[in-house]
Amino acid sequence: MSIKRGEKVTLSATLLFSPYPQAYFPQLCITAIVIPGRTIGSLGDMVERFSDNQRIEGTIPEMLDEALLFVKRNMRTKTIISPTTGRRTDRTDYPITAVREAIINALVHRDYSIHTEGMPIQLIMFEDRIEIHNPGGLYGRITIDQLGKIQPDTRNQVLASALETLGITENRYSGIPTIRMEMEKYNLRQPEFLDERGSFIVKLYKESKNDYEDMSNDEETNNLIVFCKTPRTRKEICDYLGLNSVTYAIQTYVNPLVEAGVIKLSIPDKPKSPKQLYYSVEREE
């Protein structure tokens, strides 16, 4: 790895070794927030928008460590006593190995070009899930369905190799399989990977796999999912359910499916848009 290219220090060297990389690239950081609900805009008991809010800066290793501390600080740890052995086991809401892999994946594989240098990585903790938004979207020829199954193209080869040398990442394309395996060990529903509008998104759900399967076995829910294979308006869904209140129909029947990732919004940035349509997607097994 070259520290300089010509007379200029390389971006990789700056991100790895500078005392303060954000002095030169202010938005190459992580913005981390905790939402007191399941959607952006939810308010807490004290009408607060964020339960916690931190701008995470520093080198890539420092940002990784700080982001993990942020997540640990804002998730619960349950103490479980085995009824057979009497041994105590502490279990966090999410497997920390999966969280680490998702964060390091964002730091290594985000787009560092001029097109996204004004966009930070976003780490958002909701009541029921963690989302990590990585500027730049998927790189190269790989598709969402191929993640973890084939060797992907590497956007930042020098950075990935340097982090491997530093012992921070393996650089063996094992991140996605590790996330899936750790969520399976925790008996949590499988993570969701999305490539939307130039951003790669990882969603880790707190919901147990059993709860998710119970929902999928409900006949009324399945019928609604089938109905929404064609994008539907709020009024169409309300009429289909035989209800008088559109608001009640959406809040009671549709929003839980949106939160579970089963139904999507056609305009996700504007959930209350009058032009909003709701459509169902295939569940990941």
pLDDT tens digits, one per residue of 147-158: 877 777 777 888
Number of domains in the chain: 2
Q: Which residues contact 85 (CB under 8 A, 6 or more apart)?
A: none
- Percent of the chain at pLDDT > 90 equals 40
**What is d(CA 260, CA 180) in angstroms, rounded to the nearest whole number?**
17
pLDDT category of residue 285 using cuts at 50, 70 and 90: very low
Pair (99, 110) in one structural domain: yes
pLDDT of residue 210: 61
Q: Could you tell me if 243 and 257 are in contact, meaning their C-beta atoms sit under 8 angstroms apart?
A: no
Lowest mean pLDDT among 40-44, 65-69, 180-184: 40-44
Statement to judge: residues 176 and 273 lie in one domain: no
Please indicate, yes or no, whether residues 224 and 85 belong to a single structural domain of this protein.
no
Is residue 116 over pLDDT 90?
Answer: no
| Residue 244 resides in a domain | yes
The pLDDT score that the predictor gives to residue 180 is 92
Q: 109 and 224: one domain?
A: no
Q: Which residues contact 269 (CB under 8 A, 6 or more apart)?
A: none
Q: Is residue 285 part of a domain?
A: no
Residues 62 and 94 in one domain: yes
Q: Are residues 111 and 223 in the same domain?
A: no
Answer with the one of 207, 229, 251 that is the final residue of a domain: 207
Q: b vs e for 208-217, b when ≥16 Cβ sit within 10 Å of the residue's Cβ? A: eeeebeebee
Asked if residue 220 and residue 199 are part of one domain, the reply reads no
User: Which residues constitute the domain of residue 261?
Assistant: 210-280
Q: Is 264 found in the same domain as 143?
A: no
CA-CA distance, 159 to 138, in Å (whole number)? 17
Q: Are residues 203 and 216 in the same domain?
A: no
Verify that 126 and 97 share a domain, yes or no: yes
Torsion angle defined by CA atoms of residues 154, 157, 161 and 163, in that order, rounded to the nearest 10 degrees: -80
Both 141 and 250 in one domain: the answer is: no
Chosen domain end from 173, 207, 241: 207
> Across residues 252-274, what is the average pLDDT?
86
97 in Cβ contact with 66 (< 8 Å): no
pLDDT tens sequence across 227-237 = 999 999 999 99
Residue ending a domain, among 178, 207, 236, is 207
Question: Which helix (H) or strand (E) element contains residue 263?
Answer: strand 263-265
